Amino acid sequence: MHLREALGDAQDIDPTRPIVVGSIKLGTEAAALAAEILSGTADLLAATLVDREIRRPVYWFVDHATEGHAEIFGFPVDWKDELPTAIEMALVRTVAFLPPDQHAKVLAGGVEVILGSENACVDFRKVACAAENPMVGETTEFDRATSAVIEAPGVGRGLKVAMDCLLNSYATSPLKFRFLELYRVMEALFLADVKSRLLAGFDAEPMAALNDAVEALQSELKQITTLAEPYQELFEECWTVLDGLRNTNRFVTALFKRLEKKRVNGQGKWQTGAALVYQIRCAIVHAGEKDMIFENFADGDAALKAVLPTVERASLRMLGITLG
């Protein structure tokens, strides 16, 4: 334990007063944690340093279903403003674990620190880093969150492709292509979902399981509706957002008319929300004479900006990532 060296001349810690670690003044919560560490009543976590550009203070607490917990934090080089309390406390844990010759590097900023299990956050770190600076649009979901629960969604090619599509969504423009990459996350996961449902139901009702699988594969709209079912609240939110624009946005008005023409607008709100997401995808991809074409609507981007945060959250949930 190397916290004493980072505190300099301070021998005793008053947990009710701020402390100084290196040249950084930390608040009373960090002081109380430092006192616990020095008294031997707080456990230390392994700290790993990763050099990368950090543009603003970042903190994440990651809870992985099988790999345990991790904290990820960092702040820019020569940061002069007050740090969030969570980062201050993580900084105390870090200097307590690391040898003194690494303290200056951490305290100078410009380094990402992982406290705890690296395996708990290996994929999440890639996503969070990419989401910090998207090529187009805002990443409101990451901007307002500081924690993530990571389920174990499985393994296989479909999952890898879906993760690549998510990363691509932050590195592509214009906005319609970012939406399309998020849709491709769902598309990539669909076959894995069909296979999982088939295997789960085959022993009990083999014919029904096979029929359901064949039916799902015959219709892309059926595919996304099936995939959306466990996330009904998110696709109902898609419906709510777009329904609120149907009288003021020409693109959204055309979307609802398209669903009415195809007679898929009389279902529940979450099913209609899934159909709207699918129809947006079709408008972006198709350009035939009888198709609804995204470029024909000047207000299409406004509709995408409104619904994109919910579609992003749905894509993350399908990949086993829940932000909080």
How high is the pLDDT of residue 274? 96
How high is the pLDDT of residue 152? 66
CA distances from 38 to 35, 115, 241 (A): 5, 18, 52
Nearby residues of 142 by Cβ (< 8 Å), 6 or more positions away: 128, 131, 132, 323
Q: How many whole angstroms separate alpha carbon 283 and alpha carbon 217?
A: 21
Direct distance between the N- and C-terminal alpha carbons of the chain, in angstroms, rounded to an integer: 32
Please indicate whether residue 74 or residue 14 has the higher confidence score (pLDDT).
Answer: 74
How high is the pLDDT of residue 69? 94
Residue 197: which pLDDT band, with cuts at 50, 70 and 90?
confident
CA distances from 104 to 24, 78, 98, 306 (A): 11, 12, 11, 44
Q: If you average pLDDT over every residue of the chain, what do you get?
A: 89
Q: Mean pLDDT, to the nearest integer, of 177-206?
A: 88
Q: At what angle do helices 250-261 and 232-243 cross, to 10 degrees?
A: 120
Please indicate whether residue 43 or residue 58 has the higher confidence score (pLDDT).
Answer: 58
**Can you give 269-300 as a three-state secondary structure string?**
HHHHHHHHHHHHHHHHHCCCCCCCCHHHCCCH
The single-letter code of the amino acid at 44 is L
Task: Report whether pLDDT(10) > 60.
Answer: no
Q: Mean pLDDT, to the nearest integer, of 211-223?
A: 83
Nearby residues of 295 by Cβ (< 8 Å), 6 or more positions away: none
The pair of structure tokens assigned to 61 is 């607490």
**Considering only CA atoms, which of 96, 86, 8 is closest in space to residue 47?**
96
How high is the pLDDT of residue 13? 81
Task: Report whether pLDDT(9) > 60.
Answer: no
Q: Where are the beta strands (DSSP E) in 38-104?
A: 47-51, 58-64, 68-74
pLDDT digits (tens, 9 = 90+) for 227-258: 899 999 999 999 999 999 999 999 999 999 99
pLDDT digits (tens, 9 = 90+) for 57-78: 999 999 999 999 999 999 999 8
Q: What are phi and psi of 69, to 5 degrees?
A: -110, 155
The single-letter code of the amino acid at 50 is V
Alpha helix (H) ranges present in the chain? 3-6, 28-39, 85-97, 103-108, 122-131, 140-143, 157-169, 175-202, 206-218, 220-228, 232-243, 250-261, 269-285, 300-318
Residue 289: which pLDDT band, with cuts at 50, 70 and 90?
low
Nearby residues of 97 by Cβ (< 8 Å), 6 or more positions away: 1, 2, 44, 45, 46, 47, 115
The pair of structure tokens assigned to 131 is 């989401």
Residue 215: which pLDDT band, with cuts at 50, 70 and 90?
confident
pLDDT digits (tens, 9 = 90+) for 130-158: 998 888 877 667 888 899 999 865 555 66
Q: How many whole angstroms separate alpha carbon 97 and alpha carbon 174?
A: 45
How high is the pLDDT of residue 11? 58
Residue 120: which pLDDT band, with cuts at 50, 70 and 90?
very high
Residue 37: which pLDDT band, with cuts at 50, 70 and 90?
confident
Q: Mean pLDDT, to the nearest integer, of 104-121?
A: 95
pLDDT digits (tens, 9 = 90+) for 166-187: 999 999 999 999 999 999 999 8
The single-letter code of the amino acid at 268 is G
